Structure 1
Amino acid sequence: MDYSKFTLGNGTEIYVVSSPLYTHTLLTVNFYSRSGTENAARTLGSIMLNEGTKEHASSQLIEAEAEKHFGAAIGAGAATKAGLHVSMLSIDVLTRPELTGNENTLEAMAGLMAEMLYRPLIIAGKFNQGYFEVKQQEIGIAVKMEAMNKENKAAHRFMEVALGAESPFAAKATGIPGDVEKISNMEAVWAWERIYETASRRIFAATNLSPESIMRLCSEHFSNLPNICNNTTIGPVPAKNAGTVEEESGFDQSMVYVGFPVAVPETSRERLALRLLNMYIGGYGNARLEDEIRQKRDMAYYARSRLSLETGLLYGVTGVDLANKDTAVEIMTREIRKAAEGKITKGGFNRAKRLLRDTHMRAMHTKSEKLEAIERLVLTGKGDEIESYEDPFKDISYDDVVKAAARIINAPVTYCLLGGKK
């Protein structure tokens, strides 16, 4: 991967991917905090950066300023990633000289982003109250709607059951229903100020310009951010619970999860082999889980597996009628155990490898996904692997996958969100 790394005097690391094929520059500034009970306030405070600065006192004025520069996009948001709360600001700017002429659109947009960071519309310790109430209501509605979705609710509860409710990996960016409504304007301001002053941060950019020009741009606009005391990384937080938990719901279908702890390896090759194993078990439409649950038995629209190297958890998930719940648990448990015992077909391995390589290569042609891949490697302490990440699965063999499968620990945790009729 053609990338460069720089570090500002305040400790901010900058990762730049360059390609002459790009027509735009995507640049994000990400702030990382350990995920927890402050998430809802952090998210609300981060999103309020969109609502104005001292110079552009509304979201409409910020958007109008961006529109002057060939319809550039700018925005602030928040998410949770692998046990971290991430506050982010990003710009996406047309930077082909033959299209933009001599006007330095990127310079102007970086200045607007810096303005949002340094001079947000905070007066007397508060965001604009009218804007705050609108955003608070919008986020609160979104949280309630998410809780009404059976897939989202089951996924969250499974992580709580497998990892413990106090785990940062079980926390949501916006909290649970009711959290956002309890946050005062001043609490949102305090949450953002703590992020600004104490959170670690990194800058990621994908551009057609030279890496050195991005370094100069960031040095000019972001060197005045506070010094970083530590750069947050993610270490494995293993699954700690085993057994079965079932909960009633009013949904029309049951969501079924079966997870197995995985002893997370240190080497890149073994980690890649585990990802390929996950693809074989349930990472695509005709993989083992979907073949057994959907194709052969017509019990579900989908059956997939997921692998979290951050939590050391490999799990299967499907949605079935209540009458088929036990059969789905049995199939997912059996298929994952078979893989752990090395009972992996070579034909299935070859299909999974081909699809995973194709999927990965397509993603690497997308700026945002390429930057997310770099971010994931950096956050997991694997930044030295970035250069070889264009086609990392090429040399992973069948024997590598069988060896990695032995890291699955036979201590399953099952979660069922019950719904539908018998």
Structure 2
Amino acid sequence: MFKKVELQQGVTLYIRKSDQFKTVNFSVKWKSTLDEKKAAARTVLANVLQDSNGKYQTETEFRNKLDELYGTVLYMDVAKRGDTHIVSLNAECVNDEYLAEGGVLDEVISLMQSVIFEPNLVDGQFDEAIVNREKRSVKERIRSVYDDKARYAQKRMLELLRPDSPVSTSTYGKEEDIEALTSEALLATYENMLREDEIDIYIVGDIDEDVMVEKVKSLFAFNGRTVHARPTVRQTVTEQPVEVRHVMEKQEMKQGKLHLGFSTPIAFDHPDYMKMQVANGIFGGFAHSKLFMNVREKESMAYYASSSYSSHYGLLYVTAGIDAELEEKAVSLINAQLLALQQGDITDLELEQTKALLANGIKSAFDSARGQIEVFDQYKELDEHFTADTLIFGWEAVTKKDVQAMASEIMLEIVYLLSGRESK
């Protein structure tokens, strides 16, 4: 799918020539072991680098330049995957062949070079005013979780289910670590990221691959680095608890947020990974699933009800919006849907609809260059030669007995309810 070019030890270019798009997409990804304090610094750093650089020293100047380049989009973001923290520089620009005058592509690559290698420094340090502003921005992003009660409930459930684990570690770090961050510490984070992180560079578009490889080698002159092996999966499975934990917390709110945490030995690198994806789809992953049809539609017990499979952590979650006094009934009905799967109560329609929706999801992802980059960046950990058809064939091979076997591996560990203060 992508042509792989080793630029330096630990620095890899993945390039895909395609006439599918009229734009050219870039993504530079810095990958390091997930650590909450480092995550705080790296998140603020991403904001600061996106704001301005040595060539365009204000946000306004930088954004005006992007507008001049026919609305080129350039931004940075952060994410986590398993035990890995990822900082990404992403850009998308129109392909020169659709313009009367060329040169846009070269200017965008040059801009990316400035963002990476020419940060906006004052007396050898990041501009303190910009740093403080972006610190406030990241802290507001963290606080926004508390205003979204479903996200907050999920966060609390994970903290209780797997404390001090990557699954409960914030992508953005903690407020106190952001507050304590100095310009000097941010510069050290920047230098460390450029010097030590594993770097993957992606390019997708109708371009001359050989010419682009030479441009990247010339302008993105990263030094080689030793990449230390990081587990792509954190096996979180424990033996079945003697007793499922029940935790209830209260806030000023109306609708109750019910979150259940299940463990499973089937994680991203497990041979049965795709079988578990299908099992989750039938359990609660889609609108035809057992949770949606029975908990929400048939019994009208929940405003919403669904499940999600967090494969990099070997966990499965169920979330439902309920009236708090219905918690016991709701949990019982959710468990009944899992039991039905474990007993082989699976219809042909449920199985076929799930496979079709999984296939449609991967096809939709491949309809955008950004989707191709993100999907490949994840799945190349398993197979660098995979295609959308590889995944679709894998799902198609899953049987009812496979789904039943997967359901039998799913074990409830915690029931968490966030409710209003007047409830119960």
Decide: shared fold, TM above 0.5.
Answer: yes
1:408 aligned residue: 409
Shift of 1:89: 0.8
- Indicate conservation of the 8 Å contact 2:8/2:224, yes or no: no
Distance 1:125 1:397 in 2: 58
2:186 aligned residue: 188
Distance 1:319 1:177 in 2: 28
Amino acid at match of 1:186: E
SS in 2 for 1:383: coil
Task: Choose the corresponding residue for 1:167, options 165, 188, 195.
Answer: 165
2:213 aligned residue: 215
Q: After the TM superposition, which residues 101-116 of structure 1 pair with which residues of structure 2 at under 5 Å, given as runs?
A: 101-116=100-115
In 2 relative to 1, CA 388–290 (structure 1 residues): closer, same or farther, beyond 3 Å? closer
1:359 aligned residue: 361
In 2 relative to 1, CA 286–255 (structure 1 residues): closer, same or farther, beyond 3 Å? same
Q: Deviations over 1:307-336 (max 9, x none)?
A: 111111122111111011112222222222
2:340 aligned residue: 338
2:77 aligned residue: 77
Shift of 1:225: 4.2
- Indicate conservation of the 8 Å contact 1:272/1:396, yes or no: no
1:136 aligned residue: 135
Q: After the TM superposition, which residues 193-272 of structure 1 pair with which residues of structure 2 at under 5 Å, given as runs?
A: 193-230=191-228, 232=230, 234-240=232-238, 242=241, 243-250=244-251, 251-264=253-266, 270-272=272-274
1:151 aligned residue: 150
2:48 aligned residue: 48
Amino acid at match of 2:61: L
Distance 2:238 2:159 in 1: 11
Distance 2:135 2:267 in 1: 42
Shift of 1:60: 2.1
Shift of 1:120: 0.6
Aligned residues: 418
- Indicate conservation of the 8 Å contact 1:44/1:135, yes or no: yes
Shift of 1:181: 2.6
Distance 1:193 1:340 in 2: 52
Shift of 1:48: 0.6
Shift of 1:166: 0.9
In 2 relative to 1, CA 102–279 (structure 1 residues): closer, same or farther, beyond 3 Å? same
Shift of 1:227: 2.7
Amino acid at match of 1:315: Y
Q: After the TM superposition, which residues 342-421 of structure 1 pair with which residues of structure 2 at under 5 Å, given as runs?
A: 342-378=344-380, 380-386=381-387, 388-389=389-390, 391-393=392-394, 395-399=396-400, 401-402=402-403, 404-405=405-406, 408-419=409-420, 421=423
Shift of 1:270: 2.3
SS in 1 for 2:114: helix
2:290 aligned residue: 288
Q: After the TM superposition, which residues 4-15 of structure 1 pair with which residues of structure 2 at under 5 Å, given as runs?
A: 4-15=3-14
1:312 aligned residue: 314
